[in-house]
Amino acid sequence: MFFIFLFINSFAFAITNGSSSFTDDHEQTPIPAIVIEEEIEVPEDPQWTYKFLIPTSVAIATLVIIGNIVQYFRQVTKKRYKVIKK
């Protein structure tokens, strides 16, 4: 029984390794009748909000923050030092 199993198993490995006398027609890929070309995806342009509105608002916010810092130090130093006449 074991020898029969060994014989069948060796025959199966011989077929999978390509040493059999059978030829495989699937290796030759036929040319399709209709060639379907894939569409090339065109990257979309960013919306106008990303191009103009967001950078403008970031620039305005930066200017407001810098202006507030300058005003704060001007007000603090104005109140901190007083001119005394002699």
In a domain, 70, yes or no: yes
In a domain, 7, yes or no: no
In a domain, 60, yes or no: yes
In a domain, 71, yes or no: yes
**Domain span including residue 69:** 48-80
Tens-place pLDDT, residues 34-67: 888 888 888 887 787 778 888 999 999 999 999 9
Joined tokens for residue 12: 């199966």
Query: 68, 76 in Cβ contact below 8 A?
Result: no
Q: How far apart are CA 25 and CA 45, in angstroms?
A: 48
Query: 14, 20 in Cβ contact below 8 A?
Result: yes
Q: Is the pLDDT of residue 20 over 50?
A: no
Q: How far apart are CA 52 and CA 64, in angstroms?
A: 18
Answering whether pTM is above 0.85, one says no
In a 3-state reduction of DSSP, which class is residue 13?
helix
Number of domains in the chain: 1
